[in-house]
Amino acid sequence: MPLPHLTIAAQPLEGIDYLIEQTAKAAVVGGSGILVHVPDPSRYALHKVWVARNRPVAEQTRARKDIAQAEQLIEVLRADRPDDLDEAIAAMQARPKMWRRAQRDIRRMTESAPVP
């Protein structure tokens, strides 16, 4: 999909609807700075798991990196924002195709993450 005003072409990201359904505001640092909408951190972490499980065999190094990043973020979210993580899980469960691919890893990560 060409984006001539940015002089780039974009490829649609599968699962983007899950990411942008709930967003948070964040500041982009640089210049005068602007506020942008970014994916909710809980949804981002779960989406990383789903992306990892959809990577082809040739990209398993990237998949392991995705899983490691998701594990770290889920650990923090379990401690600081468990309700957000539960909501993100429920939203993914409402998308059976996504949930089937990621549920085993997500359950392992959310059950093993320490909660203070």
- Please write the tens of the pLDDT for every residue from 77-116: 999 999 999 999 999 999 999 999 999 999 999 886 554 4
| pLDDT tens profile 37-89 | 999 999 999 999 999 999 999 999 999 999 999 999 999 999 999 999 999 99
Whether this prediction's pTM lies above 0.85 is answered by no
Length of the chain: 116
Question: Residue 31 and residue 49: Cα distance in Å, rounded?
Answer: 33
Q: What angle do CA 29, 33, 39 make, to 5 degrees?
A: 65
Position 5 confidence tier, pLDDT thresholds 50, 70, 90 = confident
Tokens of 47: 């989406």
SS3 49: helix
Would you say residue 2 has pLDDT above 90?
Answer: no
Position 4 confidence tier, pLDDT thresholds 50, 70, 90 = confident
